[in-house]
């Protein structure tokens, strides 16, 4: 087990390193450089040359990568070309907004989908199941940002439960932040929840048909005891993996939804930094997102082992 873990950790670091190399390479291939957004499109060649030297862009790519990597390991993520402030300082408040939004979305997915999935499977074919299935189909096929716009309109302008556009990183009060973020989180969570409900329902129903369930019933177990003690334990395995993997998706979804709700998170920063070719910022965000994905996959793997005794010791 320890050996497996060590191996997985090594792989994890290697993946991250590879991601940084790829991000760096990608930027050297796509056209354009940061000087046009800093100096304007009409800058003179002299102005461009001076700035490129100031930013260290005149160095060969491997050297730039090495400089970046060695600094990053020392905890220095560099300075944003566009905002001329340290990347860490720039990202910290944005990161907290995005991670809070992602966390809230995840909690919402769990809270919405697990009870609904179980209920729906338990009453398979009944009216509740049918309503849930239809709602599922609809929610799944609507993109995040459309849900976001609809929610803003309904809760922001019609019901006036929140003021669209009022969120700032100066909104210090955690309760107030959560109150605002619950709406974008809902926009992120709804399509994901729909998928989770569908998956959990299917998973439970297929377990229900297994031989060991018949055995459990024949031993005189009640329906709920069979469901909770036998079916769910097995049915949850794929769902938990799915949820852990979904975290990456949630982070991606947050990035889109942030735009709609004007949440000053990593998403807007990432989009504008790619547009402006602000390499240090993009590099840092890409590494962060990659780290979240890799760590979540790792966690999913661990959970799998804990939940499924057949995998123990492998």
Partner 1 sequence: MAKRLQKALLLLAVAAMLPVSLYGCTGDTGASPSDPPAANTDELPQEKNSVTVGIAQDLDTLDPHKAASAGVSEVLFNLYEGLVKVNAEGGVSGAVASDYTISEDKTVYTFTLREGVTFHNGAPVTMDDVLYSLKRCAGSENDGVPLISAFSDVTDISAVDDTHVAVTLSKPSLEFLYSMTAAIIPQGSGDTIATNPVGTGPFAFQSYTPQESLVAKRYDGYWGTPAYLEEVTFRIISSAETMVMSLKSGVLDMVIHLPNTMAAEVKEGFTVHEDTMKLVQALYLNNAVKPLDDVRVRQAMYYAIDVNEIIEFVCNGAGVATGTSMYPAHTKYFLPELATAYQKNLDKARELLAQAGYPDGFALTITVPGNYEQHVQTAQVLEQQLGQVGIQVTIQTVEWESWVSDVYRGREYMATVCGIAADDMTAREMLVRYVSDGRKNFINFNDPDYDKAVAQAIASTDDQAQTECYLEAERILNEQAASLWIQDLCDLVVMRPELEGFTFYRTYVLDMSTIRYQ
Q: Show contacts with partner 1 in window 184-223 (CB under 8 A).
A: none
Going by the DSSP 8-state scheme, the letter that residue 86 receives in this structure is: B
- Give the nearer residue to partner 1 in terms of CB position, either 18 or 107: 107
Q: How far apart are CA 28 and CA 54, in angstroms?
A: 18
Residue 36 binding partner 1, by CB under 8 A = yes
By CB under 8 A, the residues from 265 to 284 that bind partner 1 are: 268-269, 272, 275-277
Among 119, 124, 259, 287, binds partner 1 (CB under 8 A): 259
Least distance to partner 1, CB of residue 243, Å: 7
Q: Count of residues binding partner 1 (CB under 8 A)? A: 77
Among 31, 60, 125, 209, binds partner 1 (CB under 8 A): 31
Tokens of 119: 């209920």
Residue 24 binding partner 1, by CB under 8 A = no
Task: Give the helix ranges, DSSP H, for 123-265.
Answer: 127-140, 144-151, 174-208, 211-218, 223-226, 232-261
Phi, psi of 58 (to 5 degrees): -80, -10
Least distance to partner 1, CB of residue 286, Å: 17
By CB under 8 A, the residues from 84 to 103 that bind partner 1 are: 84-85, 89-90, 92-96, 99-100, 102-103
Q: Burial-class residue 256 by CB neighbours within 10 Å (0-12, 13-18, 19+).
A: middle
- Give the nearer residue to partner 1 in terms of CB position, either 119 or 303: 303
Tokens of 174: 């955690």
- Give the nearer residue to partner 1 in terms of CB position, either 66 or 153: 153
Q: How far apart are CA 134 and CA 124, in angstroms?
A: 13
Cα angle 187, 188, 191 (rounded to 5 degrees) comes to 90
Among 19, 23, 38, 188, binds partner 1 (CB under 8 A): 38
By CB under 8 A, the residues from 102 to 121 that bind partner 1 are: 102-103, 106-107, 110
Q: How far apart are CA 189 and CA 286, in angstroms?
A: 22
């Amino acid at each position: 087990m320890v050996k497996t873990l060590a191996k997985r950790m090594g792989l994890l670091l290697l993946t991250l390193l590879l991601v940084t190399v790829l991000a760096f390479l990608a930027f050297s291939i796509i056209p354009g450089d940061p000087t046009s957004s800093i100096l304007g499109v009409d800058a003179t060649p002299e102005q461009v040359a001076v700035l490129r030297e100031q930013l260290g862009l005149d160095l060969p790519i491997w050297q730039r990568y090495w400089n970046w990597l060695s600094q990053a390991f020392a905890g220095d993520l560099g300075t944003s070309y566009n905002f001329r402030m340290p990347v860490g300082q720039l990202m910290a408040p944005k990161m907290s907004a995005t991670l809070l939004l992602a966390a809230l979305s995840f909690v919402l997915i769990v809270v919405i989908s697990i009870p609904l999935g179980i209920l729906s499977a338990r009453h398979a074919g009944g009216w509740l199941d049918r309503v849930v299935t239809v709602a599922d189909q609809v929610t799944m096929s609507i993109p995040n940002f459309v849900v976001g716009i609809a929610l803003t309109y309904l809760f922001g302008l019609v019901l006036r439960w929140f003021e669209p556009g009022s969120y700032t990183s100066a909104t210090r009060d955690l309760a107030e932040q959560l109150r605002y973020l619950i709406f974008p989180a809902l926009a992120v969570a709804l399509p994901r929840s729909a998928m989770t409900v569908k998956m959990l329902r299917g998973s439970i129903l297929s377990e229900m048909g297994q031989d060991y369930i018949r055995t459990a019933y024949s031993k005189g177990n009640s329906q709920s005891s069979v469901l909770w003690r036998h079916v769910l334990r097995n049915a949850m395995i794929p769902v938990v993996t799915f949820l852990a993997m979904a975290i990456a998706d949630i982070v991606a979804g947050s990035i889109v939804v942030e735009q709609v709700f004007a949440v000053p998170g990593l998403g807007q920063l990432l989009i504008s930094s790619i547009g402006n070719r602000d390499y240090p910022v993009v590099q840092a965000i890409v590494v962060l997102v990659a780290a979240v994905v890799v760590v979540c996959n790792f966690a999913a793997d661990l959970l799998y082992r804990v939940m499924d005794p057949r995998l123990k010791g492998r």
